[in-house]
Chain A
Amino acid sequence: MATINATVTIGSDITGQSVSISKTMQMTKAGTTLGLENTSGLSAKTVQTTTAFKLFGNADASTLKASKVYIRNTGSSSTDFFYIGFGEDLAAATIETIGKLYGNDWMLIPWDAVAATTHDIYAKASTAEVMTLEFMAFIE
């Protein structure tokens, strides 16, 4: 088993006071203290199209486990973004679109890889300009 640590720090002065969140987790297998062992590896994909593309397929991991995915838009634009969500037709009402990653935005979420295409994770650029996404799955 491996030891994988992930730390988030969020600082904000929205309330007029400086409020900071800091939390470290060790990525473990479901219901145990044993570390995750498998990964997709760190990947990057550059696109120049608004056609959606798959980041992770449900067959890459297992359902009812403790897998996690990390995704980051490596650009710096405040107007161009990637939709991230479950299913290919992102931004459509019938698809579970999670959110938008603008330049430098990142996300780290748990992933229940239910054995269905509804749990494939896709990305879709908002523009046909050159954009790059960095992504990695920590798999059980």
Chain B
Amino acid sequence: MATTTATVSISSTDLTPGMPLSISASTTLNQTGLTTGLEIVDMGYGTLTVADSHKALHEALGAADTSNYLYLCNDATEATSYIEVVLHDTVIGRLYAGDWMFTPWNQSDGDAEWSIEAEGGSCPYAYAIYKSSYVLPDSTQGTLNP
């Protein structure tokens, strides 16, 4: 079984004067409610242009209320170029140049789709979606060999 670990460190010496900030956390990503590792990963990269409309990063294909995780980063270098990140019809926030995000995603209903859109300039992006196991969807081509 696969092992996937996600670690974060956040630090600042001057955000709160006299009290340096140092956060460090690590987790092993498991299937829903289990100690068994995740089985599926989708990874990719591309470039969003301002002319593009909202693009679906991933549809809510998985079973409801499961454990899945999303990593997304904006590799743009112009400070004004950002990716608007939307879950279903709620704007979550903006990833500016160099920003990344990591979040659980429970696919709680059929509308739990992630979508992204570039604003201010083209945005190269990379993503990884780590999923609990699921059954592949039926083919839309029907049965070719009856």
User: A-side interface residues toward B, CB under 8 Å?
Assistant: 2-15, 19, 21, 23, 25-28, 30-33, 36-37, 39, 41-42, 64-68, 70, 72, 78-79, 83-84, 86, 91, 93, 96-112, 114, 118-119, 136, 138
Q: Are A10 and B106 in contact (CB under 8 A)?
A: no
Contacting A at CB under 8 A, from B8-36, are 8-16, 21, 23, 25-30, 33-35
CB-based closest 8 A-B pairs: A110-B93, A99-B104, A12-B4, A104-B27, A2-B15, A14-B2, A96-B90, A4-B12
With A6-B10, A23-B100 known, 4 other A-B pairs at CB within 8 A are A21-B128, A97-B108, A108-B100, A112-B93
Taking the closest CB of chain B, its distance from the CB of A10, in whole angstroms, is: 5
Residue from the list B9, B14, B71, B93 in contact with A2, Cβ < 8 A = B14
Which of A12, A21, A27, A83 has the largest count of B CB atoms less than 10 A from its CB? Answer: A12
State the main secondary structure of chain B at its contact with A.
Answer: strand
For chain B, give the interface size range: 35 or more
B22-62 interface bits toward A, Cβ cutoff 8 Å, 1 = contact, 0 = none = 01011111100111011111010000000000000000000
Q: Are A7 and B93 in contact (CB under 8 A)?
A: no
In Å, the complex CA distance between A97 and B108 comes to 7
In Å, the complex CA distance between A3 and B73 comes to 19
Q: Are A118 and B90 in contact (CB under 8 A)?
A: yes
Given known pairs A14-B39, A97-B108, the reply for A68 and B93 (CB within 8 Å) is yes
Q: Are B102 and A107 in contact (CB under 8 A)?
A: yes
Interfacial chain A residues near B90, Cβ < 8 Å? 86, 96, 118-119
Q: Are B94 and A110 in contact (CB under 8 A)?
A: yes
Interfacial chain B residues near A26, Cβ < 8 Å? 98
Q: Are A111 and B96 in contact (CB under 8 A)?
A: no
Interfacial chain A residues near B26, Cβ < 8 Å? 104
Taking the closest CB of chain B, its distance from the CB of A95, in whole angstroms, is: 9
Q: Are A32 and B4 in contact (CB under 8 A)?
A: no
Nearest chain-A residue to B131 (Cβ)? A14
Interfacial chain A residues near B112, Cβ < 8 Å? 97
